[in-house]
Amino acid sequence: MRKTTQPVYAAGRANVARRNPELPTGDQSRGADNWYTSDAVTMTPVTFPNLYGMTLAGNLFVSKALDRTQHHPAIIVGAPNGAVKEQSANLYATKLAEMGFVTLSFDQVFWGESAGEPRNAMAPDLYSESFSAGADYLTTLDLVANDRIGVLGICASGSFSLNQAKVDTRLKAIATVSLTDMGAVARGMRDAMGGQTMVDQAAKQRTAEVNGADPAYTSGTPEEIGPDSDAFSKEFYDFYRTQRGAANTTTQPTLTSFVKLLNFYSLSDIATVSPRPLLFIAGADAISLNFSEDAYAAAAEPKELYKVPNAGHVDLYDRTDLIPFDKLGTFFHESLAV
């Protein structure tokens, strides 16, 4: 690819809605601000291809004060599993752009404004590849220093970005927030169902769909909750099904593709990422804390595990009073220094 000073504009898909006023308000406490924008930052819709020619849609964030005649560190920001860039990723990308980084958020293939059929498909290898595709794109921009590209993965994007860092040394520093090992999640669900029930269901659904049946969907955030709903469902519902974070998307993947996660081992060989630095940020009260702890234990130095007091998993999606933006800024400034 040649260097270019202008990003490629997104086209071909409708924009994702911002806030849906028809939904319940949701818990707006502790600085919940998923829809944060900054007068100091420009956001430009862009598109870029992955290794297999699929088009990804993203947003490029650049501080208005940035000297565009110089090369600057850049950060690729991945959204939670089944989410789009407008859910959490844009918030982090905007905050980091205010600190002087060039940042790129994006929709995963099969989701949002990015390419891929069927919609809502799970493809962990392609999801991991997206972070290298983001690096490809950033290297075409004159204002980006090619040897100073970092990654921030939120929730499942943490596992996808770590997986890709093992095979792409251009990703110089990797931070995760509310890391979720999606392979381990799927294997836990399989074991809880007993035997090969999950695999059998997906296999039968493939037969049904190839013979004309409508796609079936699984897991994800419930559309309704009640007094008897578990804490996990309530926590995710309050972000994805309220005005806090809801956009025109669903977190429910196709049943036939969900089983692909059973073969996904993102934390295997994580030590090979060294000597590139790793930062794991997780809520001290998060249901997913064990994933960050396991990743930290398996990783080689340099590494750090930072637990946010009084924070759960989804709290770190948008609650700006809890999210340690300064910690992230310091990590990337030090890790991506010349």
Q: Which helix (H) or strand (E) holds 190?
A: helix 182-193
Distances (CA, A) of 140 to 4, 68, 113: 6, 14, 21
Tokens of 255: 């049943």
In the numeric block, the tokens 């921009």 are attached to 141
| pLDDT of the residue at 223 | 83
The rounded distance, in Å, linking the Cα atoms of 5 and 201 is: 49
pLDDT band at 232 (very low <50, low <70, confident <90, very high): confident
Lookup: tokens for 185: 């999640």
The pTM for the full model equals 0.94
Whether 171 has a pLDDT exceeding 70, the answer reads: yes
Averaged over 96-110, what is the pLDDT?
98
The domain spans of the chain are: 41-181+266-335
What pLDDT sits at residue 244? 94
Please write the tens of the pLDDT for every residue from 152-161.
Answer: 999 999 999 9
| The predicted structure's pLDDT at residue 107 | 96
Q: Give the whole-angstrom CA distance, residue 195 versus residue 4.
A: 53
Render 58-107 in DSSP notation, one character per residue: EEEEEETTS-TTS-EEEEEEEPPTT--TTTTHHHHHHHHHHTT-EEEEEP
Q: How confident is the model at residue 249 (pLDDT cuts 50, 70, 90)?
A: low
CA distance 224 to 164: 35
Q: What is the overall mean pLDDT for the chain?
A: 92
The encoded tokens of residue 116 equal 């891929």
Classify domain 41-181+266-335 at the CATH superfamily level.
Answer: Alpha/Beta hydrolase fold, catalytic domain (3.40.50.1820)
Q: Residues 317-338: what's their mean pLDDT?
A: 96
Q: What is the pLDDT confidence band of residue 338, given thresholds at 50, 70 and 90? A: low
Confidence class of residue 8 from pLDDT cuts 50, 70 and 90?
very low
Q: Whole-angstrom Cα distance, residue 246 to residue 159?
A: 23
10: pLDDT confidence band, cut at 50, 70 and 90?
Answer: very low
Q: Is the pLDDT of residue 6 over 80?
A: no
